[in-house]
Chain A
Amino acid sequence: RKEVEQDPGPFNVPEGATVAFNCTYSNSASQSFFWYRQDCRKEPKLLMSVYSSGNEDGRFTAQLNRASQYISLLIRDSKLSDSATYLCVVTKSGNTGGFKTIFGAGTRLFVKA
């Protein structure tokens, strides 16, 4: 089983649509959770952290369910500029006292006019 699993998509949605991405992780000891956004051939950029209480940043809402090992991202009122790959990211303790950040393969979103 992959450590971080995402639906690769692509999701093709019209402007203004609401779209939801899901992610599951396999290691129950994972500590921190994030959504990153990556544009084509660019570096990943932090979109938001994810907490069990849920958190919202404008049109974006993220949710974590530790019991189900499930993370979600909801985008409301999609814009053309939201077109990108959305990366689910999980941090876990490493083998030597540090930690590792594990990226999912990403979900591609295309927002069309």
Chain B
Amino acid sequence: EPEVTQTPSHQVTQMGQEVILRCVPISNHLYFYWYRQILGQKVEFLVSFYNNEISEKSEIFDDQFSVERPDGSNFTLKIRSTKLEDSAMYFCASSERVRAVGNEKLFFGSGTQLSVL
């Protein structure tokens, strides 16, 4: 069964450093997403990406965040200058929705646990 893959599974970084989280969505999916989940809290939407541009973003997704699809398979989340409060599990997801309500079933990767020290 096709799956979303994320690397690395764990990332430890120093405050102020840049990190890049990597994802390979399911190959025939068109929409890509990043979510985060702080320990003990709910899953929070960060950004959606379609047709090589951001489709929607949340208030959390400020100027220190960026996303990119550098080639035909990878989808990355960059955090420019990490803060302590960026520590969380970051999930990538993809879906095959094509302008049809009801197809927005999300398939998640296993996540990258980011720890900012």
Contacts and interface: CB of A to CB of B under 8 A. Distances in A.
Interface of A: 31-32, 34, 36, 38, 41-46, 49, 87, 89, 91, 94-106
A22 B101 CA distance: 23
Contact of A103 (B43, B56, B101, B109): B43
Contacts of A49: 102, 105
A31 B101 contact: yes
Contact of A94 (B41, B42, B55): B55
A92 to B, nearest CB: 10
A31 B102 CA distance: 8
B43 A87 contact: yes
A7 B13 CA distance: 35
26 contacts: A34-B105, A38-B43, A41-B89, A42-B110, A42-B111, A44-B43, A44-B91, A44-B106, A46-B105, A91-B101, A94-B55, A94-B56, A95-B56, A96-B55, A96-B56, A97-B55, A99-B48, A99-B97, A100-B48, A100-B56, A100-B58, A101-B33, A101-B45, A103-B35, A105-B41, A106-B42
Majority secondary structure of chain A interface residues (helix, strand, loop or mixed): strand
Given A43-B91, A105-B42, A98 B56 contact: yes
